[in-house]
Homo-oligomer: A and B are copies of this chain.
Amino acid sequence: MQQYLQHIEASVQAIQFPENPKTLYEPMSYILRLGGKRMRPVLTLMACDAFGADFKTATNAALAVELFHNFSLIHDDIMDKAPLRRGEQTVHMKWNENVAILSGDAMLIEAYKLLSTYNAEKSHALIKTFNITSTEVCEGQQLDMDFERSTAVSIPEYLDMIRLKTAVLLGCSLQMGSILANASAENQTDIYNFGVNLGIAFQLQDDILDLYADQAKFGKQVGGDILSNKKTYLILKAFEDASADQRKHLDALLLQKENPEKIEQAKVLFAALDIKEKATVKMEEFYTIAMQSLAHLQIAESQKKSFRELAAFLMGREN
């Protein structure tokens, strides 16, 4: 893990965009240098390694994924009117919305440039995979925005949204690494499915932790999703399973402004409905599918072990 991370961090720092126009390129360097976990590019390098090629072969594909992720952050932050990203001003706040739109566009194109640095056959395979995923990420973001305004979002719709918005990019990151190591079509499918299902499990875990994490260890406000009425698996499942009476309580909860008591009230309602347990079961379901895809992979057991360790690390659990 550490060698991949160091390599990606050094490669990101080494990216040199043209100097002018400053208002186009400075925001791109700015957001890339805000940091982040670099989870996606690490997956690309790791997959390339696991299928037997030098992981550095996958550097540009890994950077492409990281650039795409940052493009989506720049544009999503405009749409969400977010003032901060990783504790610093978002691009549209530090500059303005127009700059953020255009720098994001140019960043998406830079991702394609990086994918075009391979030979024709590899570039073609990478770009075809990337095209599908990047469209899906846009669809996921649109669904997420649509859901904010919608009163009735079903659980399958929610799961599909998080699959598109966040999980497929993990699958794509892994698949691109495997493509560069000449993995078979079957192995590519398995590693992709491992990433997607792990991504959904990860997002469900995120929903659970937001309400049930230990505040001392949690980076943000516990219960933040409840305070802001964010549609998560927890609240959607609560609505699905609630009795008529409990539904009235849930409706009343959503009408409340942001106040700390809201969090406790939600916990009481959720406890009556076993929401934490149900969400955990659902999360385990996707984690198990991810592990099955991993088990099915035709690679050395030692390589599978490193993916299992990665999955455990991402999910914050002992392996």
Nearest B-chain residue to A98, judged by Cβ: B79
Are B101 and A78 within 8 A (Cβ)? Answer: yes
State the CA gap A102–B121 with chains docked (Å). Answer: 30
The SS class assigned to the A binding surface is helix
Are B108 and A108 within 8 A (Cβ)? Answer: yes
State how many copies of this chain the complex holds: 2
State the CA gap A79–B99 with chains docked (Å). Answer: 9
- Distance in Å: Cβ of A75 to nearest Cβ of chain B: 6
Interface members, chain A 82-111 (any B CB < 8 Å): 97-99, 101-102, 104-106, 108-110
- Which stretch, A137-145, A244-252, A262-270, touches the partner chain B? A137-145
A303 at interface, CB cutoff 8 A: no
Cross-interface CB contact of A102 among B75, B97, B123, B128, cutoff 8 Å: B75
Q: How many residues of A contact B (CB 8 A)?
A: 38
State the CA gap A176–B116 with chains docked (Å). Answer: 16
Are B102 and A105 within 8 A (Cβ)? Answer: no
A296 at interface, CB cutoff 8 A: no
Taking Cβ atoms with an 8 Å cutoff, the residues of A that contact B are 21, 23-24, 75, 78-79, 97-99, 101-102, 104-106, 108-110, 112-113, 116, 119-121, 123-125, 127-128, 131, 134-135, 138-139, 141-143, 145-146
Known: A78-B97, A78-B98, A109-B138. 11 other contacts (CB 8 A): A21-B142, A23-B145, A75-B101, A79-B102, A102-B142, A102-B145, A105-B105, A105-B108, A106-B135, A109-B134, A112-B131
